[in-house]
Amino acid sequence: MPSARGVLGLLSGLLFLATVASGQTPVDSSLWSYINNIRAIDSHAHPMRPVAAGAPADTEYDALPLDAIPPFAFPARLAGTDPIWRAAQAALYAVPAAANDSLYKEGVKSAATRAIRERGLRFPEWALDQAGIDVMLANRIAMGPGLAAPRFRWVTFVDALMLPLDTRREAARSPDTRSLYWKEAALLHRYMRELGVAKLPPTLDAYIASIVTPMLERQHEGGAVAVKFEAAYLRPLDFADPNPAEARRVYARYFGGGTPSGAEYKSLEDYLFRVIAREAGRLDESVQIHTLEDFGGFYQASGATPFQLEPTFNDSTLRKTNFIIVHGGWPFYAQTEAMLGKPNVYADISMMDILLPPTQLAPVLRQWLTQWPDKVLFGTDSFDGGAEQGWEQVAWVGATTARRGLAMALTGMLRDGEVTRERAKELARMVLRENAVKAYRRLP
Ligand SMILES: [Zn+2]
């Protein structure tokens, strides 16, 4: 039996431990510095070509730029008023405080413009260095000067290949889809021009043989590592088991004109979606699918959940194709987790690390990493928000948030005895870099 003095000593010792525990930083400092030194692979982003003053703007950063749809609200952390943007501006441009907000914004704008002018074609690489990103997968219609391999790798847009017929009836679905379908029609025409094909052939098999496959092969030769579907902006992601005979009939009936019904078009899209995904796999390219609650005032969030993709993921003929649930299916991350058990399905945290602070990203990462540690990829979805919120700022915010959230998740796992320190470091490397090399077979 311990003496009174011993009990007191024990109590004060426990008290000391409790104080230390409550004063613990949320992040283990040596893990934090380890994570900050990992050169990351960004699974999904929209970097811009550096454009000289007076030159035409870069319009090839997205197949479905959302500036054409009716104005809509952004989630709060995305708005430039969140303090994280000031942190990005301080880190990248050391923008000084100003007497008022509009003067400060002017300061940001001129610092960013000056950086692009001074660095020229080296600006994009500089932006990656600031965010600790080694390789950025660039989701763009076309690459171009300043966005070269090995730092930038191409991800192409393929929804247009799924939509060869008149989409007027589809486009009428909502005020958002009205302008978006038109963009896809224009992109298909561009693809056909690039292939030297003047008009649609009369059968679906000929369309696939003369346009779909040659376009995917052309993009492959251009260095593409993946294809991207933005279909969630256009329709629900419920790509059903296709009926090839019906798809052929629909194509043959309408290739020369006329507007298919919704059901007819869906059967054609469902078929072509699988063809494109299968062809991508044959070419060692992965398939990215936008799966997120946003964006747009008429966006159909319920059609964009990970569960909608289960028939696709369960298609045994597509198991040679790797799929990436882009944006982690946020906020339906439990559904995402349920899909990660499929051998060819991965998820990236692009845009999640823009929308969420590290404290909210951390529990999601911890949950996923506990079950499927080799399936989680870093990404930013870096995009151009104008001169005051350029893509380089978004990349910095995404990378900084992701690293902090990852450090919090791994610190928790370490302190709760779920992983060793070595394993925590390994998990950090996997999320920030190594898992991407498995998910995208054409990397590094
Ligand atoms: Zn994106």
Q: Is 111 helix (H, G, I), strand (E, B) or coil?
A: helix
Residues above pLDDT 70, as percent of the chain: 95
Largest Cα–Cα distance in the chain? 96
Q: Ligand 1 centre and the CA of 352: distance in Å? A: 11
Nearest to 35 by CA among 431, 373, 351: 431
Q: At how many degrees (to 10) do helices 391-415 and 123-131 cross?
A: 20
Q: Ligand 1 centre and the CA of 139: distance in Å? A: 7
Question: In this structure, what token pair is assigned to residue 415?
Answer: 């302190």
Please give the torsion angle defined by the CA atoms of residues 58, 61, 63 and 69, in that order, rounded to the nearest 10 degrees: -80
Q: Ligand 1 centre and the CA of 180: distance in Å? A: 15
DSSP code per residue over 352-419: HHHHS-HHHHHHHHHHHHHH-TTSEE---------GGG-HHHHHHHHHHHHHHHHHHHHHHHHHTTSS
Q: Ligand 1 centre and the CA of 55: distance in Å? A: 25
- pTM for this structure? 0.93
Q: Ligand 1 centre and the CA of 323: distance in Å? A: 15
Q: Ligand 1 centre and the CA of 140: distance in Å? A: 9
Q: Is 43 helix (H, G, I), strand (E, B) or coil?
A: strand
CA–CA separation, 130 vs 397, rounded Å? Answer: 11
pLDDT at 56 (0 to 100)? 87
pLDDT at 444 (0 to 100)? 80
Q: Ligand 1 centre and the CA of 46: distance in Å? A: 6
The conformation of residue 153, written as its DSSP 8-state character, comes to E
pLDDT at 48 (0 to 100)? 96
pLDDT at 131 (0 to 100)? 98
224: CB partners within 8 A, 6+ apart: 154, 155, 156, 285, 442
| 28 beta partners | none
Q: Ligand 1 centre and the CA of 408: distance in Å? A: 25
Q: Ligand 1 centre and the CA of 45: distance in Å? A: 6
Q: Which residues of 55-75 are buried (b: 16+ CB within 10 A; e: fewer)?
A: eeebebbbbbbbeebeeeeee
CA–CA separation, 263 vs 242, rounded Å? Answer: 12
Query: How many CB atoms neighbour CB 396 within 10 A?
Result: 25
Q: Ligand 1 centre and the CA of 80: distance in Å? A: 18
Q: Ligand 1 centre and the CA of 4: distance in Å? A: 65
| Cβ–Cβ under 8 Å, residues 172 and 178 | yes
Q: Which residues of the chain have pLDDT under 50?
A: 1-20
pLDDT at 387 (0 to 100)? 82
CATH superfamily of 27-439: Metal-dependent hydrolases (3.20.20.140)
* 109-136: pLDDT as tens digits: 999 999 999 999 999 999 999 999 999 9
The conformation of residue 54, written as its DSSP 8-state character, comes to T
pLDDT at 23 (0 to 100)? 62
- Specify burial of residue 17 (Cβ count, 10 A radius: 0-12, 13-18, 19+): exposed
Amino acid at 403: R
Q: Ligand 1 centre and the CA of 274: distance in Å? A: 21
Question: What residue spans define the domains of the chain?
Answer: 27-439
pLDDT at 384 (0 to 100)? 93
Kindly report the backbone phi and psi dihedral angles of residue 306, in degrees, each rounded to the nearest multiple of 5, phi listed first.
-55, -35
